[in-house]
């Protein structure tokens, strides 16, 4: 596992590294991960051409926070978890975006052989591939469940 973390938040880099390594997909390597603050929600994007993940996390997220939107299920998004704190947001977001990089750089599955969806969400025009979002959302949900069990120990 080889990655570079660029942390532009007040969250401990050690805590971020622990979360990143917990959700890291097997076989993925050489990733640059940028984390910074933004608004009152969170978002992420994976750039396969640069092997980079960019994560934005809100300083003013109101917990518990419902991760996902029922309207987006038709586009492959399935994670409807109720997130309890910032660490759970980071687990879910990191897992989802790192899964996208894994899909495009490691996996032999044909994640791109699926329907392209174009839609508008929150005033922003979006595009996604159904199989990719479904797999990434399920991976994030599975990792969040493992995280919660791990934290209880």
Residues above pLDDT 70, as percent of the chain: 98
Identify which of 149, 11, 20, 128 has the alpha carbon closest to the alpha carbon of residue 69: 128
Q: Average the pLDDT over each of 3-17, 92-106, 113-127 and give the range with the smallest value.
A: 113-127
User: What is the secondary structure of 50-110 as a DSSP string?
Assistant: TTEEEEEE-SSPPSSEE-S-GGGGGGT-----EE-SHHHHHHHHHHHHHHHHHHHHT--S-
In the numeric block, the tokens 């993940």 are attached to 53
pLDDT band (50, 70, 90) for residue 30: very high
pLDDT band (50, 70, 90) for residue 75: confident
pLDDT of 74 reads: 79
pLDDT of 136 reads: 93
pLDDT band (50, 70, 90) for residue 99: very high
pLDDT of 149 reads: 95
**Distance (Å, whole) CA 149 – CA 63:** 20
Say whether pLDDT at 146 is over 90.
yes
Identify which of 32, 26, 5 has the alpha carbon closest to the alpha carbon of residue 106: 26
**Distance (Å, whole) CA 45 – CA 144:** 19
pLDDT band (50, 70, 90) for residue 13: very high
């Amino acid at each position: 596992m080889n990655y570079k973390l660029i942390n532009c938040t007040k969250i401990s880099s050690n805590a971020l590294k622990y979360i990143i390594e917990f959700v890291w997909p097997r076989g993925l390597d050489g990733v640059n991960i940028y984390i910074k603050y933004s608004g009152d929600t969170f978002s992420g994007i994976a750039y396969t051409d640069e092997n980079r993940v960019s994560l934005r996390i809100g300083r003013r997220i109101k917990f518990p926070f419902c991760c996902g939107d029922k309207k987006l299920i038709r586009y492959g998004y399935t994670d409807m978890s109720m997130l309890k704190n910032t660490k759970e947001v980071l687990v879910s977001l990191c897992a989802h975006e790192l899964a996208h990089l894994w899909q495009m750089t490691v996996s032999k599955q044909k994640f791109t052989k699926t329907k392209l969806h174009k839609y508008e969400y929150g005033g922003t025009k979006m595009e996604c591939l159904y199989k990719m979002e479904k797999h990434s959302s399920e991976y994030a949900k599975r990792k969040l469940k493992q995280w919660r069990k791990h934290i209880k120990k």
